[in-house]
Amino acid sequence: MKGDRVCVSCRRVGPRESFWRVVRLPDGSIVIDSGMGRSAYVCRCLECLTLAQKKQRLGRSLRAQISPDLFAELHRRLSIAPPEGLGPLQATLEGGQELGNSLRLGQDGIG
Ligand SMILES: [Zn+2]
């Protein structure tokens, strides 16, 4: 199991590629997936990301303040690349389907 990493939120062990790597650079700035420094790992899922933020798991692990911007960036990545096994998160349909639904609102009460 050499080289495996542990999620700061759920303690799940896995290969490095399955986590986001959050790094504290020597100058104190926090970056994602790049640079050399103290590293912490978190699963690429909403649950662990939320836990890492709420319980300040990342901040504690890195002994640093994690700015909300960094979590915002991770959330953005989450919506771009959903983890395997969850299926497609977005089902964007081009066309007038939403229009049709909204037009029907309010008509049920008549009669
Ligand atoms: Zn996790």
Per-residue model confidence as pLDDT tens digits over 61-101: 999 999 999 999 999 998 876 556 554 444 444 444 444 44
CB neighbourhood size of 41 (10 A): 23
pLDDT at residue 59, rounded to an integer: 96
The 10s digit of each residue's pLDDT in 3-56 is 789 999 999 999 999 999 999 999 999 999 999 999 999 999 999 999 999 999
Distance CA 111, CA 109 (A): 6
Cα(106) to ligand 1 centroid in Å equals: 44
42's tokens: 């978190």
**Ion ligand 1 residues within 5 Å by Cβ:** 7, 9-10, 12, 43, 48
3-state helix, strand, coil split of the chain in percent (to 5) is 35, 20, 45
3-state secondary structure of 23: strand
* Residues in a beta bridge with 7: 41
